[in-house]
Structure 1
Amino acid sequence: MIYAIAQLNVTNPETMAEYRAVAGEALARHGGKVESASSDVIALDGTPTLPPVAALLSFPDKQSALEWMNDPDLKDVHALRRNAGTSDILLMA
Protein backbone atom coordinates (compact mmCIF):
# COMPACT_ATOMS: atom_id res chain seq x y z
CA MET A 1 0.00 0.00 0.00
CA ILE A 2 1.18 3.52 -0.82
CA TYR A 3 -0.33 6.86 0.18
CA ALA A 4 -0.79 10.32 -1.27
CA ILE A 5 -1.75 13.53 0.50
CA ALA A 6 -4.00 15.96 -1.34
CA GLN A 7 -4.08 19.57 -0.17
CA LEU A 8 -7.01 21.55 -1.50
CA ASN A 9 -8.02 25.20 -1.43
CA VAL A 10 -11.54 25.25 -2.86
CA THR A 11 -12.59 28.52 -4.48
CA ASN A 12 -15.39 27.08 -6.64
CA PRO A 13 -17.60 24.84 -4.47
CA GLU A 14 -19.93 23.95 -7.34
CA THR A 15 -17.09 22.55 -9.41
CA MET A 16 -15.72 20.72 -6.36
CA ALA A 17 -19.14 19.11 -5.88
CA GLU A 18 -18.98 17.91 -9.51
CA TYR A 19 -15.49 16.54 -8.85
CA ARG A 20 -16.53 14.72 -5.68
CA ALA A 21 -19.35 13.04 -7.59
CA VAL A 22 -16.86 11.33 -9.94
CA ALA A 23 -13.60 11.27 -7.95
CA GLY A 24 -14.22 8.01 -6.07
CA GLU A 25 -14.93 6.06 -9.24
CA ALA A 26 -11.87 7.59 -10.93
CA LEU A 27 -9.67 6.55 -8.00
CA ALA A 28 -11.17 3.06 -7.92
CA ARG A 29 -10.24 2.51 -11.58
CA HIS A 30 -6.64 2.35 -10.40
CA GLY A 31 -7.22 0.66 -7.05
CA GLY A 32 -7.22 3.94 -5.13
CA LYS A 33 -9.55 5.29 -2.49
CA VAL A 34 -9.97 8.20 -0.12
CA GLU A 35 -8.95 6.98 3.33
CA SER A 36 -9.82 10.23 5.08
CA ALA A 37 -10.64 13.84 4.22
CA SER A 38 -11.09 16.81 6.52
CA SER A 39 -11.28 20.56 6.71
CA ASP A 40 -10.04 20.34 10.31
CA VAL A 41 -6.29 20.17 9.68
CA ILE A 42 -3.98 20.76 12.64
CA ALA A 43 -0.20 21.15 12.70
CA LEU A 44 1.30 18.79 15.25
CA ASP A 45 4.75 20.33 15.02
CA GLY A 46 6.35 23.24 13.24
CA THR A 47 4.58 26.01 11.38
CA PRO A 48 3.51 24.59 8.02
CA THR A 49 1.02 26.34 5.77
CA LEU A 50 -2.17 24.42 6.47
CA PRO A 51 -4.52 23.69 3.60
CA PRO A 52 -8.23 24.41 4.04
CA VAL A 53 -8.92 20.76 3.11
CA ALA A 54 -6.65 17.72 3.18
CA ALA A 55 -7.27 14.17 2.02
CA LEU A 56 -5.32 10.96 2.47
CA LEU A 57 -5.49 8.71 -0.61
CA SER A 58 -4.32 5.12 -0.82
CA PHE A 59 -3.20 3.06 -3.81
CA PRO A 60 -1.98 -0.53 -4.10
CA ASP A 61 1.43 0.67 -5.32
CA LYS A 62 3.33 3.58 -6.86
CA GLN A 63 2.53 2.51 -10.41
CA SER A 64 -1.23 2.57 -9.72
CA ALA A 65 -1.01 6.12 -8.35
CA LEU A 66 0.98 7.29 -11.37
CA GLU A 67 -1.45 5.61 -13.74
CA TRP A 68 -4.38 7.34 -12.00
CA MET A 69 -2.74 10.75 -12.39
CA ASN A 70 -1.71 10.15 -16.01
CA ASP A 71 -4.80 8.27 -17.26
CA PRO A 72 -5.93 10.16 -20.40
CA ASP A 73 -9.50 8.99 -19.76
CA LEU A 74 -9.46 10.91 -16.46
CA LYS A 75 -8.26 14.20 -17.94
CA ASP A 76 -11.70 15.80 -17.43
CA VAL A 77 -11.92 14.53 -13.84
CA HIS A 78 -8.55 16.04 -12.92
CA ALA A 79 -9.57 19.26 -14.70
CA LEU A 80 -12.63 19.52 -12.43
CA ARG A 81 -10.40 19.34 -9.35
CA ARG A 82 -8.00 21.90 -10.74
CA ASN A 83 -10.83 24.23 -11.74
CA ALA A 84 -12.37 24.01 -8.27
CA GLY A 85 -9.41 25.87 -6.76
CA THR A 86 -5.81 24.95 -6.11
CA SER A 87 -4.63 21.47 -5.30
CA ASP A 88 -1.33 19.84 -4.51
CA ILE A 89 -0.99 16.07 -4.38
CA LEU A 90 2.08 14.51 -2.80
CA LEU A 91 2.85 10.82 -3.32
CA MET A 92 4.67 9.20 -0.41
CA ALA A 93 6.73 6.79 -2.52
Structure 2
Amino acid sequence: MAYVYVNLVLKDAEKMAAYRQKAGAALAKHGAKPLVSSPQQTVIEGQRDETGIGVILEFPTVDAAKAWISDPDLAATHALRRAAGDCAITLLA
Protein backbone atom coordinates (compact mmCIF):
# COMPACT_ATOMS: atom_id res chain seq x y z
CA MET A 1 0.00 0.00 0.00
CA ALA A 2 0.97 3.60 -0.55
CA TYR A 3 -0.56 6.64 1.08
CA VAL A 4 -0.99 10.20 -0.13
CA TYR A 5 -1.58 13.21 2.11
CA VAL A 6 -3.38 16.18 0.57
CA ASN A 7 -3.54 19.63 2.17
CA LEU A 8 -5.77 22.10 0.33
CA VAL A 9 -6.31 25.66 1.49
CA LEU A 10 -9.64 26.44 -0.12
CA LYS A 11 -9.92 29.62 -2.21
CA ASP A 12 -12.85 28.85 -4.55
CA ALA A 13 -15.73 26.74 -3.26
CA GLU A 14 -17.40 26.47 -6.68
CA LYS A 15 -14.29 24.98 -8.28
CA MET A 16 -13.93 22.62 -5.33
CA ALA A 17 -17.52 21.45 -5.82
CA ALA A 18 -16.77 20.80 -9.50
CA TYR A 19 -13.61 18.89 -8.54
CA ARG A 20 -15.48 16.73 -6.01
CA GLN A 21 -17.87 15.62 -8.76
CA LYS A 22 -14.93 14.17 -10.71
CA ALA A 23 -12.53 13.15 -7.95
CA GLY A 24 -14.14 9.81 -7.09
CA ALA A 25 -13.88 8.46 -10.64
CA ALA A 26 -10.31 9.79 -10.95
CA LEU A 27 -9.27 7.98 -7.78
CA ALA A 28 -11.11 4.77 -8.67
CA LYS A 29 -9.32 4.66 -12.03
CA HIS A 30 -6.06 4.14 -10.11
CA GLY A 31 -7.43 1.92 -7.36
CA ALA A 32 -7.40 4.60 -4.66
CA LYS A 33 -9.79 5.27 -1.86
CA PRO A 34 -10.01 8.12 0.64
CA LEU A 35 -9.35 6.95 4.19
CA VAL A 36 -10.07 10.20 5.98
CA SER A 37 -11.06 13.73 5.03
CA SER A 38 -11.37 16.69 7.35
CA PRO A 39 -12.34 20.31 6.67
CA GLN A 40 -9.79 21.45 9.23
CA GLN A 41 -6.54 20.22 10.73
CA THR A 42 -4.80 20.95 14.00
CA VAL A 43 -1.02 20.90 14.23
CA ILE A 44 -0.22 19.24 17.56
CA GLU A 45 3.57 19.56 17.42
CA GLY A 46 5.94 21.76 15.46
CA GLN A 47 5.00 24.38 12.91
CA ARG A 48 3.87 24.29 9.33
CA ASP A 49 2.36 26.52 6.74
CA GLU A 50 -1.35 27.13 6.63
CA THR A 51 -3.53 24.05 6.75
CA GLY A 52 -6.90 23.55 5.15
CA ILE A 53 -8.83 20.51 4.00
CA GLY A 54 -6.81 17.43 4.88
CA VAL A 55 -7.22 14.11 3.06
CA ILE A 56 -5.40 10.80 3.30
CA LEU A 57 -5.71 8.54 0.26
CA GLU A 58 -4.76 4.88 0.03
CA PHE A 59 -3.39 3.49 -3.24
CA PRO A 60 -2.56 -0.16 -3.93
CA THR A 61 1.03 0.74 -4.92
CA VAL A 62 3.44 3.67 -5.20
CA ASP A 63 3.21 3.36 -8.97
CA ALA A 64 -0.59 3.70 -8.82
CA ALA A 65 -0.28 6.93 -6.81
CA LYS A 66 2.25 8.33 -9.27
CA ALA A 67 0.07 7.27 -12.21
CA TRP A 68 -2.93 9.07 -10.69
CA ILE A 69 -1.13 12.38 -10.31
CA SER A 70 0.48 12.23 -13.75
CA ASP A 71 -2.42 10.72 -15.75
CA PRO A 72 -2.92 12.94 -18.82
CA ASP A 73 -6.58 11.90 -18.96
CA LEU A 74 -7.05 13.49 -15.53
CA ALA A 75 -5.35 16.80 -16.34
CA ALA A 76 -8.63 18.73 -16.35
CA THR A 77 -9.67 17.15 -13.04
CA HIS A 78 -6.36 18.02 -11.40
CA ALA A 79 -6.65 21.54 -12.83
CA LEU A 80 -10.00 21.98 -11.05
CA ARG A 81 -8.37 21.00 -7.74
CA ARG A 82 -5.49 23.42 -8.30
CA ALA A 83 -7.93 26.20 -9.18
CA ALA A 84 -9.92 25.51 -6.00
CA GLY A 85 -7.05 26.50 -3.74
CA ASP A 86 -3.44 26.13 -2.70
CA CYS A 87 -2.71 22.43 -2.66
CA ALA A 88 0.23 20.30 -1.54
CA ILE A 89 0.22 16.56 -2.18
CA THR A 90 2.73 14.29 -0.43
CA LEU A 91 3.40 10.64 -1.22
CA LEU A 92 4.01 8.70 1.98
CA ALA A 93 5.99 5.72 0.72
- 1:59, CA displacement in angstroms? 0.2
What is residue 20 of structure 1 aligned with on the other side? 20
Q: In structure 1, how many angstroms separate the alpha carbons of the residues matched to 2:32 and 2:48?
A: 27
Alpha-carbon distance, 1:48 to partner: 2.4
Once superposed, which parts of structure 1, at least 4 consecutive aligned residues long, lie more than 4 Å away? Answer: none
Please state if 1:78 is matched with 2:78: yes
Number of aligned residue pairs:
93
Distance 2:5 2:48 in 1: 14
> Conserved in 2, the CA contact under 8 Å of 1:33 and 1:59?
yes
Q: Could you tell me which runs of 5 or more consecutive residues in structure 1 were left unpaired when the two chains were aligned.
A: none
Kindly indicate whether the alpha-carbon contact (under 8 Å) linking 1:43 and 1:50 is maintained by their aligned counterparts in 2.
no
**Inter-partner Cα distance in structure 2 for 1:76 and 1:26:** 11
User: Residues of 2 paired with 1:50 and 1:9: CA distance?
Assistant: 7
The structural deviation recorded for 1:44 is: 2.2
Partner residue of 2:32? 32
In structure 1, how many angstroms separate the alpha carbons of the residues matched to 2:68 and 2:88? 15
Alpha-carbon deviation of 1:43? 1.5
Unaligned runs of 5+ in 2: none
Amino acid at match of 2:53: V
- TM-score computed with the length of structure 2 as normaliser: 0.94
Contact persistence 1:18–1:80 (CA under 8 A): yes
How far apart are 1:50 and its partner, in Å? 4.2
Letter in 2 for 1:16: M
Alpha-carbon separation, structure 2, partners of 1:9 and 1:63: 26
